[in-house]
A and B are shown apart, each in its own frame.
Chain A
Amino acid sequence: MRLLVLFLLLAAGPVLAQDGPRYDTDGFAKCIADAEADASAAPGLRSCIGEASTQCMATPGGETTVGMVECLGHEAKDWDKLLNGYYERALKAAKAADADLAELGSAAEPAAPALQQAQRHWIAFRDSSCRYESLRYQGGTLGGPAAQDCVLRLTAEQALRLRDIAEGME
């Protein structure tokens, strides 16, 4: 009997190790889709920030440092995908507007290079802010989750800024 228990534990070991916290990427997508269905989407979209990772951190293994970094990283990645989509939309609209203006012989500042520069500077802003966030903890184990949380929040905010820009241009 004891042997059997030992065997089961050994067999179950690797499976448990692979499990980790559960991140619900469909739940994230649903939060976004529900918010987008509303006429004034912005407040709903902002309330999605941190939701999926918080739920993930409440699942078994999500409360450890490694689990927290994993959960926050998953949500940061989901926001990053959204950000890229909004950025592409905004850039496409900006390029179309620039082409129209060029045809009219306008001397107005072109929008697309300005948008690209803003995005480059945003990346520098994100990196330096979250580097500061990790250095603040100086080797403490919170450095990981805190910096990952910083990336998540800044990425989400920028995704929503770019969404506004895209909506304003289209």
Chain B
Amino acid sequence: MKRLAGCALALLLAAPCFAGDASGFDPAAIDRCLGDASTQGARADCAGTGMEACLDYARGKYTGDDPDFPMANCLDASHQAWEAKLTGVYEAALKTQGEKGADPQESLRQAERSWLQFREDLCNQARDAAAEGKGDLARARCIRDETARQVALLMALGSAE
């Protein structure tokens, strides 16, 4: 929301606006990478896939003076794509488990809740430990990487079905 507001303001000032533009990121790149990967580790390694193309696009378009902006924008777009992937994998697993009974389904919900808490702690730690001024990028990267890792885990846990 803050970013959207900033974008609107930039438009009003007739300044070049790039904020929130995720069109440089191709979510299908993630699917292709996951499709080619055969192990949990290889799937987790897909975390950064699509970033280079996004950064090229963002650096070409962005004319502002924040050197971290293209990276922040692409990490955000990449995280959103992984979050959508995670929702898909999680919902599918919930559905499968729901057919088996309440216990496995509830344990999956519990696992997701505790994962979210852990991700929050871990990535706040990454933010606090980062060099001066780089905390937000470190946190965004951590959130994106851990989300990709969780997709890989849920895919591995669901692999025997």
Contacts and interface: CB of A to CB of B under 8 A. Distances in A.
B157 A132 contact: yes
Interface of B: 40-41, 97, 100-101, 103-104, 107-108, 110-111, 113-115, 117-118, 121-122, 124-125, 128-129, 149, 153, 156-157, 160-161
B63 to A, nearest CB: 33
A133 B121 contact: no
Nearest to A154: B153
Interface of A: 46-47, 49, 108-109, 111, 114-115, 117-118, 121-122, 124-125, 127-129, 131-133, 135-138, 142, 146, 150, 153-154, 157, 161, 165, 168-169
B149 A157 contact: yes
B115 A125 contact: yes
B121 A132 contact: no
B111 A128 contact: yes
B108 A46 contact: no
B107 A146 contact: no
Contact of A111 (B118, B122, B129, B161): B129
Contacts of B156: 153
The interface residues of chain B, by DSSP majority, are classed as helix
Contact of B117 (A47, A124, A135): A124
Residue with the greatest number of chain B CB neighbours at <10 A, chosen from A109, A115, A118 = A118
Nearest to A156: B41
B128 A142 contact: no
B96 to A, nearest CB: 9
Contacts of A133: 157
A118 B40 contact: no
Residue with the greatest number of chain A CB neighbours at <10 A, chosen from B40, B103, B111 = B111
A122 B122 CA distance: 9
A136 B114 contact: no
B108 A132 contact: yes
A66 B156 CA distance: 22
A118 B121 contact: yes
Contact of A121 (B97, B118, B128, B161): B118
A165 B107 contact: no
B114 A121 contact: yes
Closest CB pairs A-B (n = 9): A118-B121, A132-B107, A128-B111, A135-B104, A121-B118, A124-B114, A125-B114, A129-B111, A125-B118
Residue with the greatest number of chain B CB neighbours at <10 A, chosen from A47, A138, A154 = A138
B107 A114 contact: no
A150 to B, nearest CB: 7
Contacts of B41: 46-47, 49
B160 A146 contact: yes
